[in-house]
Amino acid sequence: MKMLHTCIRVQHLDKSLAFYKEAFGFKEKKMLDYPEHKFSIVYLGLENDDYELELTYNYDHEPYNIGDGYGHIALGVDEFEELHDKQVAAGFTVTDYKGLPDSSVRYYFVTDPDGYKIEVIQNK
Ligand SMILES: C[C@@H](O)C(=O)SC[C@H](NC(=O)CC[C@H](N)C(=O)O)C(=O)NCC(=O)O
Ligand code: NI
């Protein structure tokens, strides 16, 4: 068994696609559109990684209530500080660096157009 993808529902597909492509370099792997059912699905992926992010777009949907149950989707990066600086310069909502007590793990969060938090963790 293996993990395949994580699905989030997005209000504006074009804004979400632009965000994930610009902020993280995601590429579109597959786009499924069902006008008769008024929804689309786009699978996004990173180079050298089979795990995908699935964006579900329901036509003309109100803003989603993400609630307090959602935590984050995490990405591991080598160019940690460079990516942080690039995302800040691009005007994305980015936190300062964070860390866990008694741990050398460094991470920060970027918020996507719907308010989903994406955690960026510095690869060891
Ligand atoms: C193919 C697989 O990756 C899917 O996730 S399809 C799941 C399917 N999605 C939809 O029907 C999208 C439109 C729907 N209005 C929605 O917002 O989910 C589905 O069964 N969705 C129901 C669910 O609870 O995820
Ligand atoms: Ni799915």
CATH number at residue 48: 3.10.180.10
Among the listed residues 19, 70, 78, 77, the one whose alpha carbon sits nearest the alpha carbon of residue 44: 19
Structural domain contains residue 19 = yes
Structural domain contains residue 40 = yes
Distance from Cα 71 to the centre of ligand 2, integer Å: 18
Distance from Cα 40 to the centre of ligand 1, integer Å: 10
How many angstroms separate the CA atoms of 109 and 116, rounded?
A: 10
Domains contained in the chain, number: 1
Q: What is the pLDDT tens value at each position of the chain, 124 positions in all? A: 999 999 999 999 999 999 999 999 999 999 999 999 999 999 999 999 999 999 999 999 999 999 999 999 999 999 999 999 999 999 999 999 999 999 999 999 999 999 999 999 999 9
Atom of ligand 1 nearest to the CA of 39: 13
Note down the domain range covering 82.
5-60+71-122
CB proximity list for 8: less than 8 A, separation 6 or greater: 53, 54, 55, 56, 73, 114, 116
Structural domain contains residue 83 = yes
pTM of structure:
0.96
How many angstroms separate the CA atoms of 90 and 47, rounded?
A: 22
Say yes or no: CB of residue 31 within 6 Å of ligand 1: no
Kindly state the greatest CA–CA separation across the chain.
53
Structural domain contains residue 66 = no
Say yes or no: CB of residue 64 within 6 Å of ligand 1: no
Atom of ligand 1 nearest to the CA of 5: 3
DSSP annotation of 11: S
Both tokens of 120, joined, read: 């960026």
